[in-house]
Amino acid sequence: MLRVIVAPPDSKQVEERIIDYREKMGKVMIISSEHSLDVVALSLIAASRGMNPQDVLRGIYLSRAFNMFQAENLMSEMGPRAALESKASVLLAVDIHELFLDETNFADRARRFTQSVWQMKNNSRDLTCEMIFRSADDKGSSGLLGSAISAADEFEELRAPEAMSSALSSARLSPSLRALMQ
């Protein structure tokens, strides 16, 4: 199952979600771009919930991609295989789309991203699999978000507690992308 999630950029909701998965489902495999995951926040959230941060972090496997080629490999092959081998129940890809946003040859990069999303979904059939977009407003992100949503079984939007309006409901999104999210 593939779920696509849009989260507020500065929110710690993603880290809270990871702690929830760790607590309820066991091991968690995470694929992220360079600076998209705050390990200190994971520790602090675990401690605030009365959990031992070291024990929590021992069950979280993190692979960071630093370019599009690493991201493709982690999403389509290595991430799902490593998650299954380590007996993780959850595979999360956090802001991995950022590595596909280079303006040079964007059409090819968008095609490669879409292909990687479908491969991740197909190779992760026994896992809960989530693609998390914290920066859905970046130039080019809405097209990649649309590709991910078209492959997804579910879509979810996390909202900042103080936010009254959604970034996704803004006029910047095409009607076809909005229709996919309904």
Could you tell me if 132 and 14 are in contact, meaning their C-beta atoms sit under 8 angstroms apart? yes
Lowest-pLDDT choice from 3-12, 47-56, 85-94, 147-156:
3-12
**Nearest alpha-carbon partner for 163 in 6, 14, 15, 8:** 8
Encode pLDDT of 10-46 as tens digits.
Answer: 778 889 999 999 999 889 999 988 767 788 889 999 9
Is 92 in contact with 79 (CB distance < 8 Å)? Answer: no
Q: Using CB atoms within 10 A of its CB, is residue 14 exposed (0-12), middle (13-18) or buried (19+)?
A: buried
pLDDT higher than 70, residue 174: no
Express each pLDDT in 82-126 by its tens digit: 998 999 988 988 888 888 887 678 888 889 999 999 999 998 888
Tell me the pTM: 0.79
Write out the two tokens for 20: 């929830």
Q: Which CATH superfamily is domain 2-181 in?
A: P-loop containing nucleotide triphosphate hydrolases (3.40.50.300)
